């Protein structure tokens, strides 16, 4: 039997077709069906590329159904290649490598041979900096981080990667177009009990005006862009199914991993979070530590005395990606009222997703995407959900918990 370390090794690359050199035609070709390559811009007689319709539009869905012989599904890479003009070839190549990395992580978290990597006994230690706001990394976090970094390096499309697992960003290469921020394995403490985990990521354009600065400085400043400047953001949920959810700024779309083909297949195009849900997701054990406004809101909605005259139910996994995914599909609110979740790696990408699905992300007072990060590991309260639920919640005077009475952050 192979050792666990060998199971983590990437497959041998084909020297004739390295992933970083793939054209959009080759990336998007499906050997399973007799399809024309998808993702190329169609040329007119003048030689100019025609403008492609936005992702999720009826025209895209209709054309994809026709090109697949009437089949009602498409893969992630086919969908991106068939998308709007803002989704260029460089982003397609980046996503090709990123989704490959996440397939490896999905296999890793489900493998009995790597179970020890999820446990504290593997030697995870806190950051050496006493002022660091990072969590103490676990071995499985570090392995996931390495998998993603290796894939982004191979893509040739990423200038810098900032990770929740690193104190400072990693400068990968000059002149590549994108900056990636990532939480490689959110909720890894849940691995031992098989509770869902996830990867969260955001993609920005590299700020070319910073190219003259020293590497450390331009890496930091590129990674501290406002969430309003995101080009794409998404999460991967590792659960009973592996879900890749992404937005390019024109709708939010979810794809499920088909293990028979190894492809992420579109299952939820153009998600619209219900304007109001009937679920709140928060750690109720902290009820007596909450500010008065948050206690009054929770008491009101679970008694059915709020603006929506039905009693709310509590659902809480304590895995941010899982709780967020449920909220995105069913509506309601998911929250952590403490200064706990990271603006750069968690709050900005998830707020981008929920907004492009018709919801709202807030720190309890301010729209998340309007907040300018000042630190890579900056923490803040986070409230995400249905727009009507969020407006009702924010109407209460005090919902941010500013103290931490005795339990670990």
Give this prediction's pTM. Answer: 0.80
Catalytic pick among 78, 166, 183, 355? 183
Which of these, 228, 233, 252, 183, lies nearest to 366 by C-alpha position?
228
* pLDDT, tens only, 175-203: 999 999 999 999 888 888 889 999 999 99
* pLDDT, tens only, 291-348: 999 999 999 999 999 999 999 999 999 999 999 999 999 999 999 999 999 999 999 9
Domain with CATH 3.30.540.10 in the chain: 76-117+138-270
22 is known as an active-site residue: no
Catalytic pick among 78, 165, 355, 363? 165
CATH architecture of 76-117+138-270: 2-Layer Sandwich (3.30)
Q: What would the mean pLDDT of 55-82 be, rounded to a whole number?
A: 61
Q: What is the pLDDT of residue 403?
A: 80
Catalytic pick among 78, 94, 98, 141? 141
Burial class (CB in 10 A: 0-12, 13-18, 19+), 268: middle
2 is known as an active-site residue: no
CATH 3.40.50.2300 fits 279-395, yes or no: no
CA distance 331 to 275: 7
For 206, the 3-state DSSP assignment is coil
141 is known as an active-site residue: yes
328 is known as an active-site residue: no
Q: Considering the chain, what percentage of its residues have pLDDT values greater than 70?
A: 74
pLDDT of 365 strictly over 80: yes
Catalytic pick among 28, 78, 164, 166? 164
Q: What would the mean pLDDT of 277-296 be, rounded to a whole number?
A: 96
pLDDT of 86 strictly over 70: no
CA distance 210 to 230: 17
Q: What is the pLDDT of residue 114?
A: 66
Catalytic pick among 22, 185, 294, 393? 185
CA distance 206 to 212: 13
Catalytic pick among 186, 263, 339, 389? 186
Catalytic pick among 346, 355, 363, 394? 346
186 is known as an active-site residue: yes
Q: Which band of pLDDT confidence, cut at 50, 70 and 90, is reported for residue 46? A: very low
3-state helix, strand, coil in the chain (%, to 5): 35, 20, 45
Q: Considering the chain, what percentage of its residues have pLDDT values greater than 90?
A: 67
CA distance 328 to 358: 10
Q: What is the pLDDT of residue 30?
A: 35
CA distance 56 to 193: 37
For 269, the 3-state DSSP assignment is coil
Q: What is the pLDDT of residue 188?
A: 84
120 is known as an active-site residue: no
Q: What is the pLDDT of residue 81?
A: 80
Which of these, 95, 92, 74, 100, lies nearest to 11 by C-alpha position?
100
Catalytic pick among 22, 55, 135, 263? 135
Q: What is the pLDDT of residue 151?
A: 98
- Main-chain dihedrals φ then ψ at residue 30, nearest 5 degrees: -110, 120
* pLDDT, tens only, 3-29: 333 333 344 444 444 443 333 333 333
Domain with CATH 3.40.190.80 in the chain: 279-395
* pLDDT, tens only, 119-162: 554 444 344 343 455 555 568 899 999 999 999 999 999 999 99
pLDDT of 243 strictly over 70: yes
């Amino acid at each position: 039997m192979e050792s666990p370390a060998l199971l983590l090794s990437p497959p041998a690359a084909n020297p004739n077709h390295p992933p970083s050199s793939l054209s959009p035609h080759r990336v998007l070709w499906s050997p399973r069906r007799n399809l024309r390559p998808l993702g190329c811009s169609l040329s007119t007689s003048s030689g100019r590329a025609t403008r492609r319709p936005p992702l999720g539009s009826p025209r895209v869905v209709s054309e994809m159904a026709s090109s697949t012989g009437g089949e009602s599904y498409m893969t992630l890479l086919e969908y991106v290649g068939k998308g709007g003009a803002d989704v260029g070839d460089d982003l397609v190549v980046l996503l090709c490598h990123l989704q490959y990395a996440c397939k490896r992580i999905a296999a890793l978290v489900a493998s009995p041979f790597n179970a020890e990597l999820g446990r504290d006994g593997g030697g995870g230690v806190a950051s050496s900096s006493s002022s660091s706001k990072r969590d103490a990394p676990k071995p499985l976090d570090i392995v996931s981080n390495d998998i993603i970094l290796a894939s982004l390096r191979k893509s040739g499309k990423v200038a810098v990667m900032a990770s929740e697992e690193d104190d400072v960003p990693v400068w990968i290469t000059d002149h590549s177009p994108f900056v990636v921020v990532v939480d490689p394995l959110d909720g890894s403490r849940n691995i031992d009990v098989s509770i869902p985990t996830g990867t969260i990521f955001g993609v920005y354009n590299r700020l070319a005006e910073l190219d003259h600065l020293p590497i450390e400085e331009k890496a930091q400043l590129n990674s501290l862009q406002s969430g309003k400047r995101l080009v794409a953001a998404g999460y991967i949920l590792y659960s009973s199914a592996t879900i890749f959810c992404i937005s390019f700024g024109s709708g939010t779309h979810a794809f499920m991993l088909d293990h028979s083909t190894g492809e992420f297949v579109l299952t939820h195009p153009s998600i619209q979070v219900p304007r109001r849900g009937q679920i709140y997701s928060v750690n109720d054990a902290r009820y007596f530590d909450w500010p008065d406004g948050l206690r009054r809101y929770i008491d009101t909605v679970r008694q059915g005395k709020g603006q929506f005259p039905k009693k709310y139910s509590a659902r809480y996994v304590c895995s941010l990606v899982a709780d967020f995914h449920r909220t995105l599909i069913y509506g309601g609110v998911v929250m952590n009222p403490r200064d706990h979740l990271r603006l750069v790696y968690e709050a900005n990408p998830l707020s981008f997703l929920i907004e492009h699905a018709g919801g709202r992300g807030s720190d309890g007072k301010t729209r998340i995407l309007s907040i300018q990060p000042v630190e890579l590991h900056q923490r803040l309260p986070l409230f995400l959900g249905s727009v009507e639920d969020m407006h009702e919640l924010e109407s209460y005077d005090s919902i941010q918990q500013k103290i931490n009475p005795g339990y670990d952050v």
